[in-house]
Chains A and B, each alone.
Chain A
Amino acid sequence: KAGVTQTPRYLIKTRGQQVTLSCSPISGHRSVSWYQQTPGQGLQFLFEYFSETQRNKGNFPGRFSGRQFSNSRSEMNVSTLELGDSALYLCASSLFAGGGNEQFFGPGTRLTVL
């Protein structure tokens, strides 16, 4: 079974631009979560989607948004990029939403904002 895939793997943008990242969960998984990882803050939860609905949201500004499609694939969008948005963005998939579900992570998208 193929793992979680994320595209693109690397991205370079300039301040003020917007970016869209994509995540394809493991086949059959219906929940997708997004995380931001930086050296200073570590791994921080962005949001979780299940059945095309956002179920949980972390403490990030409204510039960060996401959505999930009917095939469970998810995208996250960051508008008006800032230097501090440079990070590794990870998505994780699990069978269902809710506790006790093993979450499997993708390889991440490395975003650099210049």
Chain B
Amino acid sequence: SQELEQSPQSLIVQEGKNLTINCTSSKTLYGLYWYKQKYGEGLIFLMMLQKGGEEKSHEKITAKLDEKKQQSSLHITASQPSHAGIYLCGAEGGGSNYKLTFGKGTLLTVNP
């Protein structure tokens, strides 16, 4: 079964700093999703990546899927307190198995 490892598990940054969260898969990634979650609440969809080398940006958040499609990174530029939360990567299993498998999440704290 596919496993996703996120690093770091937690991150504390000063407002205005850049940061990167990584998601590494044990298998080829067919569809990679990034979500943000406030503790105990639902997941907010950020981005979906499918093609090797694909890069998407939304506001100050950029996500990339590497060429070999086994790793994705999420980069936040000039972090703000509103970026704080838990970032989760989720991956489709490929073929007819398109349920999402999730990493354990990265807890981001942004200090003002």
Residues of A within 8 A of B (CB): 4, 6, 33, 35, 42-45, 48, 56, 58, 88, 90, 92, 97-108, 110
- B63-97: contact bitstring with A at CB < 8 Å (1 yes, 0 no)? 00000000000000000000000001010101001
A interface: dominant SS: strand
* Residues of B in contact with A (beta carbons under 8 Å apart): 30-31, 33, 35, 40-45, 48, 50, 88, 90, 92, 94, 97-105
Are B45 and A103 in contact, CB atoms less than 8 angstroms apart? yes
Given that A33-B100, A48-B99, A105-B43 are contacting pairs, would A43 and B88 also be in contact in the complex, using a CB cutoff of 8 Å?
yes
Q: Nearest Cβ distance between residue B72 and chain A, in whole angstroms?
A: 15
A76 to chain B, nearest CB (A): 15
**How far apart sit A100 and B30, CA to CA, in the bound complex (Å)?**
8
In the complex, 22 of the A-B residue pairs with CB atoms within 8 angstroms, ordered by the A residue number, are: A6-B42, A42-B105, A43-B88, A43-B90, A45-B101, A48-B99, A56-B98, A58-B99, A88-B40, A92-B100, A99-B98, A100-B48, A100-B50, A101-B98, A103-B33, A103-B45, A105-B35, A105-B42, A105-B44, A105-B45, A108-B42, A110-B40
